[in-house]
A and B are shown apart, each in its own frame.
Chain A
């Protein structure tokens, strides 16, 4: 990753045009040619510096539902419970974390009903309490990571 890559990543985290030739517009603002921007984006994706390039959709704004949930899982059952939780297609992310509540997962569904069903299903199949922590208010979501 060189300085041009860094400038591309920093500039394109916040927005990209919806227009006939969006890469050309974005390239001009960066002082690059359209082809150079395309080539560099391709390489940044290939070497996984970028995990994705494109639109970020908001499940809730689409009428879907999203929540963060946590569970307290005994160490000797951790692997088995991970398998059960991850088998739910509604579970988008799952992280082990350093706390008594040691498993944290995000569920995303197309409807609020599907979300409640998935939470109940996880409780039923694991025999554990799921602590549901849906957002009450969002103050900020964004990436501001300086490359």
Chain B
């Protein structure tokens, strides 16, 4: 891994499942890895600056919070406008992920992906309507894919 050394990777391995729930969690990690607490804090701050750590915080279980209706909305928009449109869609507070991805014609004409989350089907339908309204005439076609089953969910794990 280009940006990181073995100490960074050890910190990642020690924390990717969670931060210790003790008053001094970074001390606990330091002790476990045989580092000083200043080293752990300094390296984690650096990893955050590099974007290696996206954020530190609570990852809620969507279902437990009542967000049982999650749809992957996909849109075919003109390539020359996708960046401006994607940024606007990404700012909507019900969108958790928004990406430009490649088309695979003819089977897959969609290039803009936005994951939406609602507490009811009506709420999701209304959210999809809001996205369609923003895209306007640049909406050349769309679909919504609902997950019907979780087949695997382990998350990223470094060996």
Contacts and interface: CB of A to CB of B under 8 A. Distances in A.
Interface of A: 8-9, 12-24, 34, 38, 41-42, 44-45, 47-59, 61-64, 66, 68, 70, 72, 82, 85-86, 91-101, 103-105, 108, 110, 131-147
Main secondary structure of the interface of A (DSSP, over half): mixed
A137 B96 contact: no
B54 A56 contact: yes
A57 B57 CA distance: 11
Contacts of B61: 48-51
B26 A141 contact: no
A63 B2 contact: yes
Closest 8 CB pairs of A and B: A140-B90, A139-B90, A54-B19, A63-B1, A139-B86, A63-B2, A94-B152, A94-B151
Contact of B57 (A15, A58, A103, A105): A15
A18 B3 contact: no
A54 B151 contact: no
B132 interface: no
Main secondary structure of the interface of B (DSSP, over half): mixed
A47 B60 CA distance: 11
B51 interface: yes
Interface in B41-82: 41, 44-45, 47-48, 50-62, 64-65, 67, 72, 82
B99 A137 contact: yes
A147 to B, nearest CB: 5
Given A23-B23, A96-B149, 12 more contacts: A8-B58, A12-B58, A15-B55, A20-B41, A23-B25, A51-B60, A61-B3, A63-B1, A137-B83, A140-B87, A140-B91, A142-B96
9 contacts: A13-B58, A24-B23, A45-B21, A61-B3, A66-B156, A134-B102, A136-B102, A137-B99, A147-B60
Contacts of B137: none
Nearest to B70: A95
